[in-house]
Chains A and B, each alone.
Chain A
Amino acid sequence: MTPAEIRERVSAACPGAVEEFQADLLDPVLRLRPDRLREVCRFLRDDPGLRLHYLRLVTGIDRPAAADSETPGGIDVVYHLWSYELRHGCQLRVRLDRANPVVETVSDLWPDANWYERECFDLLGVTFAGHPGLTRLLMPADWVGHPLRKDYARPERYHGLPTSRATVLAEGRAAEVAPAMHDTKAQPIEGYLRLNMGPHHPATHGVINFLLETDGEILKKATPDVGYLHRGIEKLAEQVGYVGTMPYTDRVDYLGAMFTNHGWALAVEKLLGVEVPRRAEFCRVIASELNRIASHLISTGSLAMDLGAFTPFLHWIRERETINDIMERICGARLTYNYLRFGGVSRDIDPETLDKIKHWIDHFEPMMDEFDRLISSNEIFVRRLAGVAVISPADAIAYGLVGPNLRASGVAWDTRRDEPYSIYPEFAFDVVTGRAVHGTLGDAYDRYDCRLREIKESLKILRQAMAAIPEGEARVKVPRPKPAANEVYARVEGPRGECGFYVVSDGTEKPYRARFRTGSFTAMTIIEHLSPGLMLADLVALIGSLDVIAPEIDR
């Protein structure tokens, strides 16, 4: 169903709720009356002909009144919805008063809205009435101001700590700094032991804090407390422009920089209407699939390490090292690739590198069997994961899980196949889904298993791509991008699932607003839901099996 048809249905069911239908945007938007939002949302979710069960993204855009126009400013809250079953989606938007932005929550309709709304509150100051715990998500609880507002001014100091590099360099070591006391953002529960797992804990995969309420080894609740790695990349994107943001996207997902590169490039290319040469597409696919393998190696390996087996992790690190060496040849860096450019890639892949990839694949394929023997089929490993933290398909969709986490629950959805981009339709590969290897669909083992099988699919794609790579240019020259005012949502299938880039342009060299939709963000929201009754060691397995990456959550 197209957005226009969805709009028809909404207008029929909830007359007067749609204020405006912005069909001229790249991704058409239904502008709703704020007080009718919940009604429309409920209809969209529950109507058997629409079934928009997946809330992709909630975010806000600050639009202060321009000095010369009479139109009043406001804050837009944008909702991206999607239906996996019917393969359609739509964007909603409400415009709120800038002085007092209040809208009703939808976190009871889509549980993953909980964190999206908290982030929106945190960064833009939008109040979501009826939200169960509307506290700051990324910034410290005692932060003043909402950084994504256009008129936000950064404070010079926070608890005596200088906030700019120049001040730090000028002062040297600060003489006296009051420690920043962070509120823990979650209330302790009477009668349980409060345990701070993190922010520096070996199993949290980055700087994340889990506030545990435990009864001995058994958890009552685990509440993630994030934001320790928040660098405001989206704010930075508004400042450094389209070209300059590319290297910053490397830092969003440090294990899958090629995908954040790709997503950003796709979004801007869509805004500009640029065609990418075929050879460049192949380069992109080859680099992406190598990167996907590297990321899955880390994720499966570190899961084994979290469960106490160090050796498999180092063996996967060794294999990834070869990929890193190849990446170094392809784009000059091992982690922060910054490989893609609008209209192509920064460098062509030379035949020698292709040879190296081929040799590595030959060596690596038997290694996967060895890895299976070493760890995947190990009884202890299986027992630690089988039946642990089971996510039902419905939950997986409702909590907005994406990528291998979603597929492990049995939902066969792969952006590469289902919302094709680049040249993926030309390759034959399977979308792997959970197969309840050890009895339960959607348990931690299925998620692990899915990743391993996805590596094999990536190898397939790599072989096909290397065989079919055409001659030609790897880049067309694109002038400094200056897209007209528009909005676009571009997505790629990253190793942690859908990696989406919502970009609002305004005709300048800098994006008006950019929101990176990452897999880890939503994966974190489900932990609180899954944690009751798990054991401490299961939580480690859960975090590892969800493959969360701290900078992806915090951006």
Chain B
Amino acid sequence: MVPAVPPPVRPNPVRAYFGNIRRAVSSTFEGMTVTMSWLFRRPSTIQYPDRTEKPVREMLPETYRGLLEVDLSRCTACLLCAKTCPLGCISIETCKHPDGAREFQTFDIDNGLCMFCGLCAEACNFDALAHTREFEASVSSAEQLTVRFVDRPGRLVAKAKDLPPRRPRGSILAALIPGFGRRRRRAAPPEPPASPAPAPAAGAEGPENPEGTA
């Protein structure tokens, strides 16, 4: 297991001298042929943000854990997500109407705190809370990092029995934060020939929330 250390061998000095020169020259030559070959190979970088074939968001896989978004029309305010979050960056408040219906007061996610671990989205049983592929999250002040999903008063908490279909991912965030993640882009580079035209931003024109007042 623990080997004996072999004694170092001393080579013939003359051979070592010329061997050094030979190896220095040949290995430098080899290295330079490699670097030279790269002048003929395709660069692997893309020109983010404005000269990509399509928005980077659309290059990401569906599984990507980007900014969180909640579809309040499916949220039952079960608080599982808020309890699961190790950092406590989700804050949910509801109030009860006299007729028994519950109404959202707040549903805030603090992106300044969130570490995009995905535990909360996993905990949500109603596919209300999910990660989008949105990642360009810079804003101009720390307060704006908190995304407030309750956009108007009187939004009722959903019932687990009849949930509307999940709105397309990203559409809620896009509607909530105008101009979010949509940068000015120049023409895509000429390559590759068979590339499809840049698709519109994911769900950019997602339907304005029709329900929720029910």
- Measuring CB to CB, which residues of chain A are less than 8 angstroms from any residue of chain B? 84-85, 165, 169, 240-241, 243-248, 250, 311, 318, 321, 328-333, 336, 338, 346-347, 370, 373-375, 377-380, 392-394, 397, 410-413, 433, 436, 439-442
Q: How far is B16's CA from A533's CA once the two chains are assembled, in angstroms?
A: 25
With A246-B117, A411-B1, A412-B1 known as contacts, the answer to whether A441 contacts B6 (CB < 8 A) is yes
12 contacts between A and B (CB under 8 A): A244-B119, A245-B86, A246-B117, A332-B65, A333-B64, A346-B122, A374-B35, A377-B30, A379-B20, A439-B9, A441-B6, A442-B5
Residues of A within 8 A of B116 (CB): 333, 336
Which residues from 29 to 73 on chain B have a C-beta closer than 8 Å to any C-beta of chain A?
30-31, 33-35, 44, 60-61, 63-65
Find out whether the CB atom of B23 lies under 8 angstroms from the CB atom of A336: no
Structural contact, B1 and A321, CB atoms closer than 8 A: no
Contact B27 A379 (CB under 8 A): yes
3 A-B pairs with least C-beta separation? A244-B86, A247-B117, A332-B65
B64:A332 contact, CB within 8 angstroms: yes
How far is A397 from B35 in the complex, measured between Cα atoms in Å? 40
Report the tally of A-B residue pairs with Cβ distances under 8 A: 100
Find out whether the CB atom of B119 lies under 8 angstroms from the CB atom of A169.
no
Q: Which of A243, A330, A393 contacts B3 (CB 8 A)?
A: A393
**Does the CB pair B44–A393 fall under 8 Å?**
no
**Cβ contact of B86, chosen from A240, A377, A441, cutoff 8 A:** A240
Bound form: Cα–Cα A397–B3 in Å: 12
Most buried by A among B9, B33, B63, B87: B63
> Which residues on B sit within 8 Å (CB–CB) of A245?
86
Are A332 and B118 in contact (CB-based, < 8 A)? yes
CA distance A169 to B27 in the complex (A): 56
Q: Which residues of A contact B60 (CB under 8 A)?
A: 328
Q: Does B113 contact A (CB under 8 A)?
A: yes
Q: Is the CB of A241 within 8 A of B86?
A: yes
Q: Is the CB of A169 within 8 A of B31?
A: no
- In this assembly, does B125 line the interface, its C-beta being within 8 Å of a C-beta of chain A? no
Interchain CB contact under 8 A, B117 and A379: no
Q: Once the chains are docked, how many angstroms separate the CA of A307 from the CA of B6?
A: 27
A436 to B9, CA, bound (A): 11
Docked complex Cα distance between A244 and B64 (Å): 20
Map CB proximity to A onto B64-101 as digits: 1 under 8 Å, 0 otherwise: 11000000000000000000111100000000000000
| A85 and B1 form a contact (CB under 8 A) | yes
| B214 close to chain A: CB less than 8 A | no
Q: Which residue of chain B is the closest to A381 with respect to CB atoms? A: B27
Let me know if B61 and A329 touch, CB within 8 A. Answer: yes
- Contact across chains for B118 and A373 when beta carbons are under 8 A apart: no
Chain A contact surface mostly: helix
What residues of A have a CB within 8 angstroms of the CB of B2 in the complex? 84-85, 393-394, 397, 410-411
Q: How far is the CB of B196 from chain A (nearest CB, A)?
A: 19
* B117→A378 contact, CB < 8 A: no
| A554 vs B136: C-alpha distance when bound (angstroms) | 30
> A330–B118 Cα gap in the complex (Å)?
13
Other A-B pairs, 6, CB within 8 Å; known A379-B23, A433-B3: A165-B113, A332-B61, A338-B119, A346-B122, A379-B20, A394-B2
Roughly how many angstroms separate A84 CA and B1 CA in the complex, as a whole number? 7
Query: In the complex, A374→B23 CA distance in Å?
Result: 13
Closest B residue, CB atoms, query A410: B3
Contacts of B6 in A (CB 8 A): 436, 441
Interface centre among B9, B33, B115 (most CB of A within 10 A): B115
- Contact residues in B for A433 (Cβ distance below 8 Å): 3
Interface residues of B in 103-154 (CB under 8 A from A): 113, 115-119, 122, 131, 142
Report A242 CB to chain B, min CB distance, Å: 10
Q: Which A residue sits closest to B21, measured CB to CB?
A: A379
Tell me the complex Cα distance, A173–B185, Å.
Answer: 35
Check A318–B61 contact: CB distance below 8 A: no
User: Which A residues lie within 8 Å of B122 (CB)?
Assistant: 346
A338 to B116, CA, bound (A): 9
Report which of A311, A379, A442 forms a contact with B24, defined as CB distance below 8 A. Answer: A379
B141-170 CB mask vs A (1 if < 8 Å, else 0) is: 010000000000000000000000000000
Chain B residues, CB < 8 A from A377: 27, 30
Give chain B residues whose Cβ lies under 8 Å from the Cβ of A244. 84-86, 119
CA distance A336 to B116 in the complex (A): 9
Minimum distance in angstroms from B44 CB to a CB of chain A: 5
B88 → chain A closest CB, angstroms = 9
**CB–CB A247/B86 < 8 A:** yes
> Which residues of B sit under 8 angstroms from A370, Cβ to Cβ?
34
Instruction: Pick the contact of B63: A329, A336, A411 (CB < 8 A).
Output: A329
How far, in angstroms, from A244 to B115 measured CA to CA in the complex?
A: 11
Q: A84-B1, A85-B1 are in contact. Are A378 and B27 (CB under 8 A)?
A: yes
Question: Would you give the shortest CB distance from A339 to chain B, in whole angstroms?
Answer: 9
Q: Decide: A336 near B61, CB < 8 A? Known: A318-B44, A378-B27, A394-B2.
A: no
Q: Does B8 contact A (CB under 8 A)?
A: yes
